[in-house]
């Protein structure tokens, strides 16, 4: 499998408190890769390192087959980027911002830009400083898409967009960075979870969603013993217990027969619940 992004042994430090350690991350070509993690976990920093906006202490980053930072202009010419915070020149009008941006990209598509322009309902002669958050988000998205990028890197791009536009633009995404987990669930096929500068999990979305379950267990053993799955949490309610587990597969229900318990129900978790449980797993040993 080829990878659009391949990060190995990445080290980065900002100040005394924040660091990224031994980060390895691979985004398969053609995938919609979602980056999950709480605020301050290192998602935006990783994106900035990937695009050469920050310099790592060590490690290697390959994007679209080219090395960062050596080939950064070549990579950026093929990458659409929507940053977390609006970054365009505020004194320009929308039309001027489009013309300014377009001259830097040989693949710029005016036809599509105009189409998106109409679709987003923007006014060409409005100054960027007068735009609402949602309009600015639309413009940033328009600029990133109209350059016909091979790789699209979006750092919380839907913040402030209305639901209709949000749904339309999300269809074109290759890389998605967000802690808005419900959106990721709808569009991503791979997911990476970051916490405190570490990538704690990287797996296909389906595995992520399927692997974490809540089980209702009657007559549970006092100690789970050697389980074929990872028990993340146990809660007692009305004579039964609810176990939150990771790595669950249906044949594993035989385990309960072996310990004299009975499995009453297997409950699917949505992505947000799964994300919270996964983070809890990784944090417990360190707290």
Partner 1 sequence: MFRMILFTQWKWSRLAVLLGTLAAFLLPILSVQHAGSREVTPWEARMLLTSIQSWSVLYPTLATAIALTLALMAWSADHRGRHVYALSLPVPRWHYALQRFGAGAVLLIPPAIALLIGALVAAALATIPHGLQTYPVALAARFALAMAVAYAVFFAISAGTTRTAGYVLSIPFIGDRLLLWPGPLEIFSGRWMLIDV
Name the residues that contact partner 1, by CB under 8 A: 51-53, 72-77, 81, 83, 85-92, 96, 99-100, 103-105
Provide, rounded to whole angstroms, the least separation between the CB of residue 171 and partner 1: 23
Task: Report how far residue 183's alpha carbon sits from residue 164's, in angstroms, rounded to the nearest whole number.
Answer: 13
Taking the least distance from each CB to partner 1, the nearer of 149 and 220 is: 149
Structure tokens at 152: 């699209």
Structure tokens at 47: 């994106």
Taking the least distance from each CB to partner 1, the nearer of 87 and 182 is: 87
Contact in structure between 143 and 159 (CB atoms under 8 Å): no
Taking the least distance from each CB to partner 1, the nearer of 77 and 200 is: 77
Beta-strand relationship, 212-218 and 262-268: antiparallel
Nearest to 275 by CA among 180, 198, 196, 197: 180
Taking the least distance from each CB to partner 1, the nearer of 53 and 276 is: 53
Task: Report how far residue 64's alpha carbon sits from residue 44's, in angstroms, rounded to the nearest whole number.
Answer: 19
Provide, rounded to whole angstroms, the least separation between the CB of residue 283 and partner 1: 31
Structure tokens at 212: 């974490």
Contact in structure between 5 and 50 (CB atoms under 8 Å): yes
Taking the least distance from each CB to partner 1, the nearer of 66 and 230 is: 66
Provide, rounded to whole angstroms, the least separation between the CB of residue 225 and partner 1: 52
Q: How far does CA 265 lie from the centroid of its chain? A: 31
Specify the length of the chain in residues: 287
Provide, rounded to whole angstroms, the least separation between the CB of residue 87 and partner 1: 4
Provide, rounded to whole angstroms, the least separation between the CB of residue 96 and partner 1: 7
Taking the least distance from each CB to partner 1, the nearer of 108 and 255 is: 108
Provide, rounded to whole angstroms, the least separation between the CB of residue 13 and partner 1: 19
Beta-strand relationship, 175-177 and 33-36: parallel
Contact in structure between 227 and 248 (CB atoms under 8 Å): no
Task: Report how far residue 113's alpha carbon sits from residue 230's, in angstroms, rounded to the nearest whole number.
Answer: 49
Provide, rounded to whole angstroms, the least separation between the CB of residue 17 and partner 1: 20
Taking the least distance from each CB to partner 1, the nearer of 157 and 220 is: 157
Task: Report how far residue 277's alpha carbon sits from residue 274's, in angstroms, rounded to the nearest whole number.
Answer: 5
Taking the least distance from each CB to partner 1, the nearer of 128 and 191 is: 128
Residues 6 or more apart in contact with residue 62 via CB below 8 angstroms: 3, 5, 6, 7, 68
Q: How far is CA 11 from CA 24, 43, 198, 265, in A?
A: 10, 14, 10, 44
Provide, rounded to whole angstroms, the least separation between the CB of residue 78 and partner 1: 8
């Amino acid at each position: 499998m080829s990878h659009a992004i391949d990060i190995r042994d990445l080290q980065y430090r900002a100040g005394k408190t924040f660091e990224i350690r031994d980060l390895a991350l691979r985004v398969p070509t053609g995938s919609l890769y979602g980056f999950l993690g709480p605020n301050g976990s290192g998602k935006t920093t990783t994106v900035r390192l990937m695009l050469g906006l920050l310099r790592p202490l060590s490690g290697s980053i390959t994007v679209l087959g080219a090395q960062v930072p050596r080939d950064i202009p070549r990579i950026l010419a093929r990458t659409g980027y929507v940053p977390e915070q609006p970054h365009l020149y505020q004194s320009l009008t929308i039309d001027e911002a489009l013309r300014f941006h377009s001259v830097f990209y040989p693949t710029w598509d005016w036809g599509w830009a105009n189409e998106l322009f109409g679709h987003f309902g923007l006014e060409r002669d409005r100054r960027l400083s007068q735009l609402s958050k949602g309009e600015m988000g639309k413009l940033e998205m328009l600029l990133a898409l109209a350059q016909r990028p091979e790789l699209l890197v979006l750092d919380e791009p839907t913040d402030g967009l209305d639901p209709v536009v949000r749904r339309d633009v999300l269809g074109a995404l290759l890389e998605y960075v967000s802690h808005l987990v419900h959106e990721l669930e709808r569009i991503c096929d791979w997911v990476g979870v970051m916490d405190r500068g570490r990538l704690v999990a990287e797996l296909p979305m389906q595995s992520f969603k399927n692997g974490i379950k809540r089980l209702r267990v009657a007559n549970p053993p006092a100690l789970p013993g050697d389980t074929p799955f990872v028990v993340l949490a146990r809660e007692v309610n009305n004579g039964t217990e609810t176990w939150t587990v990771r790595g669950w597969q249906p044949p594993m229900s035989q385990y309960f027969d072996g310990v004299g318990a009975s499995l009453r129900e297997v409950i699917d978790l949505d992505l947000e619940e799964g994300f919270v449980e996964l983070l809890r797993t990784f944090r417990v040993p360190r707290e």
